[in-house]
Structure 1
Amino acid sequence: MAGRGDIGVRIGLSAVIFVLDGPGLSVLTTHAQEVAPGLPFGPFDPTRHRTFELALRAFVTAQTGFRLGFVEQLYTFGDAGRDTPRAAPAGDPARQVSVGYLALTRDALAPPSADARWRPVESFFPWEARRAGRLPLIDEFLAPRLRAWADAEPGERRRRRVEALFALEDDAGWNEAAVLDRYELLYEAGLVAEAARDRPEPPAADDAPLLGQPMESDHRRILATGLGRLRSKLRYRPVLFDLAPETFTLSQLQAAAEAVSGLRLHKQNFRRGVERTGLVAPLGRTTTGTGGRPAELFTARLGAPEDGHAPGLALPALR
């Protein structure tokens, strides 16, 4: 039997829902009054909900008017000191544990709920937007601050992390899937708003604004986990077709891959990689909707592969 001073556990569910919205990747957010945007979030009630996933689908529809398609569990977030999400009653001392889910949709229509909206992912992680090449944000703003932060600790551990995660050397490779690692490093360095909010003493004042749009609770960490998972899955599962339209040109498919990965891809190498996978089939017709010469239309060919493993897409980035 739990003692009087014991702290219980409250289980909540958070949804990271992505859509291709115009030229970029967007995430569904919800708002309560004037607080920072958050992910759709709701409590799990074991007396009412048979499974986590059914509970997630029910409260996302209730909060946003949106019905989920593809859903995959991400991770369980239960660190002590998490800011209490709005779904937990005020003054409740229970430890808040949140089970995060990744969801994808092709439907970029405005959500019917006034408290829900699509927001560009890059507004939360501006350092992840590399489709136009190497970012001045990293070279001019982040690099000097991160190096100064690394030099404040004896040894090479911090500097190695900074150099590897943000590819500060000219010949260093960028790991597009390391979204969470980069966010957590910026948190440690005091360069994101959540760090100032969560620490007893705020970081030293700087002459530049803190990076990206903050989110309530630890929802930006959950979002980083979802974006990293989605980018990783591009390489070994055909998840891009859960976001792309049912018919597309190869240029449109490449644009979708660039929006998700945040990378600028090599056109001919990307097309050769797509053809090798056998994941697309020509429809025998063309479209002039791309603004140039007529382009051939394709659709996804996602039957069960002979070896039981559906391949992903190569991401031949232009460095």
Structure 2
Amino acid sequence: MTRAQDGFAVEATGALPNPSAVGLVAVIVAATDGEPRALTVRVPGQATGRETGLPAGPLVPEHPTLERGLRAWVERQTQQRLGYVEQLYTFGDRDRQGDDSAGLHSLSVAYLALVREMRSASLPDASWHNWYAFLPWEDWRAGRPETLDGIEAKLLAWAAGALDSKIRRRREDRLGLTFGIGGGAWNEERVLERYELLFEAGLIPEAQGQAGEAHATDIATTGRPMTFDHRRVLATAIGRLRGKIKYRPVVFELMPPTFTLFQLQRTVEALSGANLHKQNFRRLVAQQGLVEETDEVTSGAAGRPARLVRFRREVLLERPAPGFRLTPSRRSS
């Protein structure tokens, strides 16, 4: 069992020695069956609908480094051992602490980890979720998300509600830059900016503070909320990963040792939220020299066997920025 302390999940079986106001939080990402997945934990004692959070815990004296402390918390709460990890961001807004933070101005150092999904039946409070359940407006793989109809109407009303004309114009400009409203272009990397705009407009439960409850209408339009500021942390990680796959081959951290080009394309589409043209994608992979064929083929599935490939690690030495500079297929408006 865990309880909330200083905005972090803390074991209730024993007090931690001198917990600090510095916390560690992990966005752990996997790509399973062509879907982007985030590992979450249940955080009891939160407002209705806000019990889902990311693996987290405070930095304590026995942690020799931030990263080793993070790995310890993740393994303790989820039994997931981490491989690739990078520091994401430090969150320190004055109003981000939990209700029992005793007035501390808490900081969280967030990390992004890429893994292959592992399930543990012995830990019912740890579970994997499609990350678009939390940010549904980010998934354009099947065209423009239906949820944007309701979101855009409310955002336009929020912008129009500003009494000062300069503020109203500034809000309208931000709607164009983030959500592409009014003829602007959709930039898949602006995930955090879109979330923060919804927060500022008061359209998500987190905008009401820790007591803000999530109702069915909220979830249907703006997705599942998370405890504390963890959905903001998740949005930051998605934006970082979408940008990084364009110049670093980090997507292969999510792939098995051998895979098909179709599986690779589905994974890249899942992360970017975009539908990609098959032949253009394969041409790009070939031009970048990212994979090499193996002697293996798929078996036991319907259709023709497909050649299995693997990541060419030599590309890290051959090219300064090997990645997927993608041009998504045209989105419907």
- For this structure pair, what is the TM-score category when the shorter chain's length is used for normalisation? 0.7 to 0.9
CA contact (8 A) 1:9 1:97 kept: no
Say if 2:88 and 2:109, in contact at 8 Å, map to a contact too.
yes
Distance 1:184 1:299, change over 3 A: same
Aligned to 1:247: 258
How far apart are the structure 2 equivalents of 1:108 and 1:54?
Answer: 20
Which stretch shows the higher mean deviation, 206-215 or 227-236? 206-215
In the alignment, which residue of structure 2 is the partner of 1:4? none
Tell me the residue number matched to 1:33. 44
Aligned-residue identity in percent? 45
1:129-155 superposed Cα distances (whole Å, 9 cap, x missing partner): 1100112221x2112111111122223
TM-score by length of 1: 0.87
Q: Pairwise mapping of residues 152-167 of structure 1 onto structure 2 (< 5 A)? A: 152-153=161-162, 154-155=165-166, 156-167=169-180
Query: Any idea what SS the aligned residue of 2:89 has?
Result: strand
Q: Which residue, 209, 215, 228 being the options, matches 2:218?
A: 209
Distance 1:287 1:174 in 2: 37
| Match of residue 147 from structure 1 | 156
Correspondence for 1:100 among 110, 133, 136: 110
> Could you say which residue in structure 2 is the equivalent of 1:185?
197
Alignment RMSD (CA, Å) = 2.3
Q: Secondary structure at the match of 1:99?
A: strand
Distance 1:308 1:53, change over 3 A: farther
Q: In structure 2, how many angstroms separate the alpha carbons of the residues matched to 1:194 and 1:305?
A: 41
Contact 2:34 2:263 in 1 (8 A): no
CA deviation map 1:205-261 (0-9, x unaligned): x99435211111111111111111111111010010001222111111000001111
CA contact (8 A) 1:304 1:310 kept: no
Q: 1:168 maps to what in 2?
A: 181
Report how many aligned residue pairs link the two structures.
Answer: 300
Provide structure 1 residue ranges, at least 5 long, that are not aligned to the other structure. 1-7
Partners of 1:272 and 1:135 in 2: CA distance: 28
- Residue 130 of structure 1, aligned match among 137, 140, 143: 140
CA distance in 1, matches of 2:317, 2:40: 39
Could you say which residue in structure 1 is the equivalent of 2:271?
260
2:15 is matched with which residue? none
Q: Hey, what does 1:317 align to over in structure 2?
A: 328
Secondary structure, aligned partner of 1:263:
coil
Shift of 1:304: 5.7
Per-residue Cα deviation, 1:187-221 (whole angstroms, up to 9, x for no partner): 1111111012369xx8xxx9943521111111111
Partner of 1:66: 80
Is the 1:146–1:189 contact (alpha carbons within 8 Å) kept by the matching residues of 2?
yes
Q: Which one-letter code corresponds to 2:180 in the other structure?
A: A
Task: Kindly state the Cα deviation for residue 9 of structure 1 after the two structures are TM-superposed.
Answer: 6.6
In the TM superposition, structure 1's runs of 4+ consecutive aligned residues that sit over 6 Å from their partners are: none
Aligned counterparts of 1:268 and 1:282: Cα–Cα separation in 2 = 17
